A and B are shown apart, each in its own frame.
Chain A
Amino acid sequence: MKESKITLFIFLAPTLFFVLVFIAYPIVYSAYLSLSEFNYASDPSPRFIGFKGYIDTILHDSMFHTALINQFKFAIPYFIITFLGSLILAILINELKHGASLFQVIFYLPMIIPLSLVGITFAWLLFPDVGIFNHILRRLGVENWNIDWYGDPKTALNSLVVARSWKMIGFTLIILLSGLQGLPKDIREAAKVDGANFFQEIWHIVLPNLKPYLYISGIWILINAMKTFELIAVVTQGGPGMATLTLYYYSWKLAFERLDMGRASQVAYITAGLIILLSWGLNRLFKTEIASRA
């Protein structure tokens, strides 16, 4: 068949249009902004200052430091809960002969609920006084247990973690379940015949073979852990105080409340850099483990 360049271009045209105008141009422009000083309200155009802005942000911006620390305080428990949660659920669901698809629907359901409405829902569940969660805790334990989960700086960030994990677990469950279902049946049968109990079988046979899928899940959770915006905007607005101010939310605040587009872009680029760095770290971690086993 004669392949003409013109038809090829026409087939690619819509993709190229959207990618160039709304993806490629913004990335280049925000890179330029991150090297500039630009207050959108008062400056007519960005003024190039090189890496001065980055140095200033990293060394002297105390709010940036707080946001960076909070980001990790959020990301670490979020990663652990989502990773282990979806792994345990996937292993259990995979054992079931009946009802597996019903369970899957229940765990997949949060994926379709807008994160902002997840925030509203959890804020209501964890409400002080009339909130049902505090009520159940009171019934189970201490009489006057009444925690303002999202209002107390000690619990606010972790309460956001729970809501975020609740929504995310379905995604990684899909990955891990398809990994488990792809495992050859006979290697597990062999382990059973050798007399391995359930936990030994999981630890020695299933997990090592699941490694590529664990890695993919890890990457997705990581990317998500750094992109935290909606829940914070809806439930805590970075508060109480600065207890839930994360990098993403701080960048948004800089850009659209202070209209400081330069610094906002710096924080955004630093966040992207962290994602790349951590993904690389995760890659190395999985690679060395595979190597040491071999």
Chain B
Amino acid sequence: MKKHARISIFMRKHRIWILIIMTVIATFYFFPILWMFITSIRPTEDIYKFPPTIIPGALTLDNYIYVITKMRGFGRYFLNSVVVTSSTVLIVVVSSAMGGYAFGMRRFKGQNLLFMAIISVLTIPYIMYLIPIYIMEDKLGLRNTWWGLILPYVALNLPWGLLIMRGAFSTIPLDIRDAAVIDGCGEFQMWFKVLLPIVKPAIAATTIITFVFAWQEYLFASTLMTRNEWQTLPVGVVWIRDELQTLVYGRIGAMVILSIIPVFILFVVFRRFFIEGLREGMIK
């Protein structure tokens, strides 16, 4: 009894210390994002005052208003990001729900070998795909089009989706499938009406993970899209920074914050699915 009491006092004490240490670390960790946000709501004179001040003296939304109303390039990048990302998500979800069913519930020759081959895609340096895809898209005239990004993005994100979907389908008892078939469902009807509602959490996980990855892709976008009107946000914001050269970090900050907002909202809403999906994918 005595011993246990001592342990719990020790535990309680060190919990408080851990809480304090964690709060300090987390504050530092959060600081880069916070600082970008603070920069974006300050007037320019304030940002470049020397020595710098941490607590903002004056607040303004000018940077945001300027970026949204005056910078037409930014609006176009935003549109491209939305179109490319949501198309990618849609195709990945449908393809991986179909493939996940085939890998998770059907049996065929070479099944595991094919699956492992597809998964190993994740470890290979993407530049090995990029060079041939660049030559191919150049010849087919796909560069500087939305499809030129959507197609490779689907291919690169499909393995994650398959991993998650196969996991979900393989936990469904085969009885459910057979019962539906006895009721007179065809295989597609059964897949669509009976199985898809069961794997809803996996669909959510695939959606959010694909969205996050496609939204931040830089390598393919910067290489395949060379014209302003087709560029996406992660590259577009960098182009704007290069054009403006110096001393406009207020506007750059506003662009960074605006670029993160859509994905941030999704992250907050679907956080559980995002973490679960990543865990599933990374540990397997």
A residues near B (Cβ < 8 Å) are: 1, 3-4, 7-8, 10-15, 18-19, 21-23, 25-27, 29-30, 33, 40, 89, 92-93, 95-99, 103, 105-122, 124-125, 129-132, 135, 138, 166, 171, 174-175, 178, 192-193, 198, 213, 216, 220, 223, 226-227, 229-230, 233-234, 248, 251-252, 255-256, 261, 264-265, 268-269, 271-272, 275, 279
Task: Identify 16 residue pairs between A and B in the complex whose beta-carbon atoms are under 8 Å apart, listed by A's number.
Answer: A14-B99, A18-B95, A22-B155, A22-B156, A26-B131, A98-B19, A107-B29, A110-B29, A112-B216, A114-B233, A124-B249, A124-B252, A130-B52, A132-B52, A227-B125, A252-B127
Q: Which residues of B contact A192 (CB under 8 A)?
A: 7
Task: Tell which of B31-39, B64-72, B199-207 binds the partner.
Answer: B31-39
Interface centre among A12, A14, A107, A114 (most CB of B within 10 A): A114
Contacting residues of chain B (3-28) with chain A, CB-CB under 8 angstroms:
3, 7, 14-15, 18-19, 21-22, 25-26
A242–B69 CA distance with the chains assembled, in angstroms: 40
Q: Which residues of B contact A40 (CB under 8 A)?
A: 135
Interface bracket on B: 35 or more
Q: Which residues of B contact A135 (CB under 8 A)?
A: 51-52
Interface centre among B108, B127, B216 (most CB of A within 10 A): B127
> Does the CB pair A92–B128 fall under 8 Å?
no
Q: Which residues of B contact A93 (CB under 8 A)?
A: 22
Q: Which residues of A contact B218 (CB under 8 A)?
A: 114-116, 229-230, 233-234
Q: Which residues of B contact A216 (CB under 8 A)?
A: 282-283
Known contacts A30-B131, A103-B26, A131-B52, A230 near B219 by CB under 8 Å: yes
A63–B21 CA distance with the chains assembled, in angstroms: 44
Shortest Cβ distance from A261 into B: residue: B131
Q: Mark B246-284, 1 if CB is under 8 A from A, else 0.
A: 000100110010011001100100010001001100110
Shortest Cβ distance from B219 into A: residue: A229
> Does the CB pair A14–B106 fall under 8 Å?
no
Q: Which residues of B contact A98 (CB under 8 A)?
A: 19
> Does the CB pair A121–B36 fall under 8 Å?
yes
Query: Is B168 an interface residue, CB under 8 A from the partner?
Result: no
Shortest Cβ distance from B81 into A: residue: A114
Query: Is B58 an interface residue, CB under 8 A from the partner?
Result: no
4 closest residue pairs by CB, A with B: A22-B155, A114-B216, A14-B95, A15-B99
Our pick among B15, B35, B50, B278 for the contact of A95 (Cβ within 8 Å) is B15
> Does the CB pair A114–B99 fall under 8 Å?
no
Interface centre among A26, A131, A175 (most CB of B within 10 A): A26
> Does the CB pair B282–A23 fall under 8 Å?
no
A138–B99 CA distance with the chains assembled, in angstroms: 57
Shortest Cβ distance from A251 into B: residue: B127
State how many angstroms separate the Cβ of A145 from the closest Cβ of chain B. Answer: 12
Q: Mark B133-171, 1 if CB is under 8 A from A, else 0.
A: 111100000000000000110111010001000000000
A269–B124 CA distance with the chains assembled, in angstroms: 9
A125–B256 CA distance with the chains assembled, in angstroms: 14
Shortest Cβ distance from B107 into A: residue: A3
> Does the CB pair A14–B94 fall under 8 Å?
yes
> Does the CB pair B129–A26 fall under 8 Å?
yes
State how many angstroms separate the Cβ of A257 from the closest Cβ of chain B. Answer: 11
> Does the CB pair A1–B102 fall under 8 Å?
no
State how many angstroms separate the Cβ of B244 from the closest Cβ of chain A. Answer: 12
Our pick among A3, A21, A220 for the contact of B106 (Cβ within 8 Å) is A3
State how many angstroms separate the Cβ of B71 from the closest Cβ of chain A. Answer: 16
Shortest Cβ distance from B241 into A: residue: A120
Q: Which residues of B contact A25 (CB under 8 A)?
A: 132
> Does the CB pair B127–A268 fall under 8 Å?
yes
A212–B107 CA distance with the chains assembled, in angstroms: 30
A4–B29 CA distance with the chains assembled, in angstroms: 54
> Does the CB pair A130–B49 fall under 8 Å?
yes
A106–B131 CA distance with the chains assembled, in angstroms: 36
> Does the CB pair B26–A106 fall under 8 Å?
yes
Our pick among A107, A119, A171 for the contact of B26 (Cβ within 8 Å) is A107
Shortest Cβ distance from B157 into A: residue: A18
> Does the CB pair B32–A112 fall under 8 Å?
no
> Does the CB pair A120–B118 fall under 8 Å?
no
Query: Is B47 an interface residue, CB under 8 A from the partner?
Result: yes
A120–B239 CA distance with the chains assembled, in angstroms: 11
> Does the CB pair A30–B132 fall under 8 Å?
yes
A175–B102 CA distance with the chains assembled, in angstroms: 28
